Chain A
Amino acid sequence: MDAQEATRTLEVIRTLMERTCQYQFLTARAGLAAGTLAACGALSFTFLDAADPRHFGVVWGLVFVGSLLATVLGTVLRVRERGERVWSRQTRAVVLALAPSIFAALVLTVFLFSLGLHLWLPGVWMLCYGQGALATSVYAPAPIRWLGIAVLGLSGPALLLGPDAAVWTMGLVFGLGHVWLGVTLLAAERRQQSALRLHRTVA
Chain B
Amino acid sequence: MNAVKCLVEDPQAVLLHESRRLAIVSVLAAVPSLTFTELRDTLEMTDGNLSVHLQKLEEARVVAIDKQFVGRRPQTTCRLTPAGRDAFTRYLDHLEAIVRQGRTTPPRPGA
Contacts and interface: CB of A to CB of B under 8 A. Distances in A.
Given A20-B31, A21-B30, A202 B19 contact: yes
A190 interface: no
Contacts, number: 60
Contacts of A114: none
A54 interface: no
A105 to B, nearest CB: 31
Contacts of A6: 95-96, 98-99, 102
Contacts of A1: 4, 7, 98
B22 interface: yes
Interface in B18-62: 19-20, 22-23, 26-27, 29-31, 34, 41-45
Interface residues of B, number: 25
Decide if the interface of chain A is mainly helix, strand, loop or mixed. helix
Contact of B19 (A10, A18, A20, A203): A203
Interface in A8-45: 9-10, 12-13, 16-21
Nearest to B102: A3
Nearest to A200: B44
Interface of A: 1-4, 6-7, 9-10, 12-13, 16-21, 83-84, 199-200, 202-203
Contacts of B23: 12, 16, 199, 203
A178 to B, nearest CB: 28
Of all A-B residue pairs in the complex, the 9 with the closest CB atoms, nearest first, are A3-B102, A17-B30, A6-B98, A20-B30, A21-B30, A16-B26, A202-B19, A6-B95, A13-B26
